[in-house]
Amino acid sequence: MSSSDSAELLGPDGPFAREIPGFAPRDSQQQMATAVAEAIAERDCLIAEAGTGTGKTFAYLVPALLSGKRVIISTGTKTLQDQLFHRDLPLVRKVLGARLKASLLKGRANYICLHRLDQAVKDGRFPSREQTSQLHSMRTWAARSASGDRAELIEVPEDSQLWPRVTSTADNCLGADCPQYGECFVVKARRAAQEADLVVVNHHLLFADLSIKQEGFGEILPGAHAFILDEAHQIPELAGQFFSTSLSSRQLSELANDTLAECGAVSGALAPMLAVIEAITPAVRRVRLAFDRLPLRGSFAQIAATPELMHELDALHEALSGLMDALVLHEERSRGLASCAERARDLLARYEKVEAHDNAEWIHWYELTPQGFQLYATPLDLAPPLRALRDSTHAAWIFTSATLSVAGRFDHYTRQLGLDDPVAMSLPSPFDYTRQALAYLPRGLPDPNASDYTARVIAMARPVLEASRGRAFLLFTSHRALKLAAELLRDTLPYPLFVQGTLPRHQLLTEFRAAGNGVLLGAASFWEGVDVSGEALSCVIIDKLPFAAPDDPVLEARLNAMRESGGNPFFDWQVPTAVIALKQGAGRLIRDVSDRGVLVLCDPRLTTRAYGKIFLQSLPPLPQTRELADVQAFFGDVFER
């Protein structure tokens, strides 16, 4: 089929307009479908920024299904992945009459591990009746499930402490040596993916697989003719995670615990191993205690400047080496001990990589949690490994999102990904922003660094919320500001108040939608991937421009490198990154052709600093006002309809 066929199928005389109730042909959707078809056919690199409402999912699914090629589609979240596979893909296949094999593939932690489930049952130690009940539900469900995908088991919460005990990791999986290998859900899912024409994955799995494949450990995903990456604005940050080497206190503790369990199952193994196993946990604890004098995250240089911490890290390295040496002596006695020995070798190699902090091409840093720590080595520049990865696939690469450009340019995005000469297009949203929306830039707010800034924002927001009758998101750039806003609004707001952190995100959104006039306070995770269409969300208030936190050691190292090479890190990196984040937050407002609402941008720097124009030029073409009366008139008009 020619590249124009996809556009015709999505056009006014095509089957989608005939067969799907409410389907509206869109020029931007048809243009994107044509571009995707051409990119797949020519194995090109395409950047397609598609404004909200373009219908980009159909715009890439139709040419992908018509291509006759093996295609991998990757999404930013598991929620979108499930929606794509279970809702959108079946609909498009039905309309097209496409007969091909499609597969859904997630990371191994999403599938119950039958071997570890059996181990948990035999262990029998659970801290609560609730976990005992959850384990019973898991056993019953696992016996009848065809996929083993934990998303099916809604009775057990996603954050249950039992899930890590009954799912596997790359570290503790026994692979072909597992007694349950023949029934393994992960193996079945991967086998289905290898046989499929179209595979739906998420970015975490995609980069985990491709980065592992680069190191020669084998291939999870089948080789593909084309990769289509939806929510592609997330790729730079995620790629940084998967090209990093890391070592965590949790990995070390799990190795010690698993070794102890394996020794218990091998006659005579425990006595000679016990001392080296028991050396790990206190060594990990002493390292974490020595970290207490340092910030929650920072560069390895801060570790190197703390003699006590370096001493404890050396002692941990010695303890890990001792455990590995002991495991090597016993690894032939069982499959489990052999697996533990391999894990110990890997963790030692990781330790040496993250500790070698004199390599200028890598950023060596740490991050602390209340009980643990993680050490990292992250590439300073992601462009070379990403370029090498794409070149190795000999495939088409298609990046799409509603937020990839900055003031109409893609330079920032292409530079990060090492895209030398991509085809790039920006497709406008079909929404009528001049009629549907209004941007309010209030007067009189102080500098965002002022001590009373959040209190002043809330005072400004009260008459806006009165005009909108609630039905609002307040998005904050920090959890500290969010907590203060919650204190200021609690018991004084005549609308239901929903605060991030008080309930799981999906439950908060469900209750917010049901309330009809709620006010939701959210930080980072509510700036994107949240879809509330209709009157329940008619106002989005953003407290500050979302510049990245200055305590990020990776960002600090990259900005320093840019400065040393003669660049301007603020305008070349910090502003573009913040623009993309602001576009995501603003994109929560208008989700449908019938939506109407007001976007309130509180940060006075939008009008007092020269770079404010870059932010405003990057947003959809909303009419702007600085007068509260215009906001009140807008909502007065909305409620009269």
The DSSP element (H or E) to which 364 belongs, if any, is: strand 362-368
- The angle, 0 to 180 degrees and rounded to 10, between the axes of the packed helices 270-278 and 249-264 is 160
Which residues of the chain are modeled with pLDDT < 50? 216-217
Distances (CA, A) of 257 to 334, 371, 464: 16, 17, 55
State the pLDDT at residue 216. 46
CATH of 433-640, one of 3.40.50.300, 3.40.190.10, 3.40.50.1400, 1.10.10.410: 3.40.50.300
User: CA-CA distance, 41 to 80, in Å (whole number)?
Assistant: 26
Rounded-to-integer distance, Cα 19 and Cα 183, Å: 40
Rounded to 5°, angle at Cα 636 from 631 and 640: 150
Q: How far apart are CA 212 and CA 243, in angstroms?
A: 9
**Topology at the third CATH level for domain 245-379:** Fumarase C; Chain B, domain 1 (1.10.275)
Q: Which of 261, 265, 282 is nearest to 165 (CA)?
A: 261
Based on the number of CB atoms within 10 Å of its own CB, is 485 exposed (0-12), middle (13-18) or buried (19 or more)? Answer: buried
**468: CB partners within 8 A, 6+ apart:** 538, 539, 597, 598, 635
The 3-state DSSP class for residue 543 equals coil
Start and end residues for every CATH 3.40.50.300 domain found in the chain: 3-101+196-242+382-427, 433-640
H-type alpha helices, 418-478: 433-436, 453-468
Burial state string for 448-475 with b = 16 or more CB within 10 A and e = fewer than 16: beeeebbeebbebbeebbebbbbbbbbb
Q: If you ran DSSP here, which 8-state letter would residue 243 be given?
A: T
With a CB cutoff of 8 Å and minimum separation 6, the contacts of 1 are 37, 66
Specify the domain boundaries for CATH 1.10.275 within the chain: 245-379
Residue 181 three-state SS? helix
Third-level CATH fold of 3-101+196-242+382-427: Rossmann fold (3.40.50)
Say if CB 338 and CB 349 are below 8 A apart: no
d(CA 560, CA 562): 5
Pairwise CA distance, residues 620 & 633, whole Å: 21
Q: What is the pLDDT of residue 75?
A: 94
Q: Are 589 and 537 in contact (CB under 8 A)?
A: yes
Confidence (pLDDT) at 2? 54
What 3-state DSSP class applies to 547? coil
pLDDT value for 134? 87
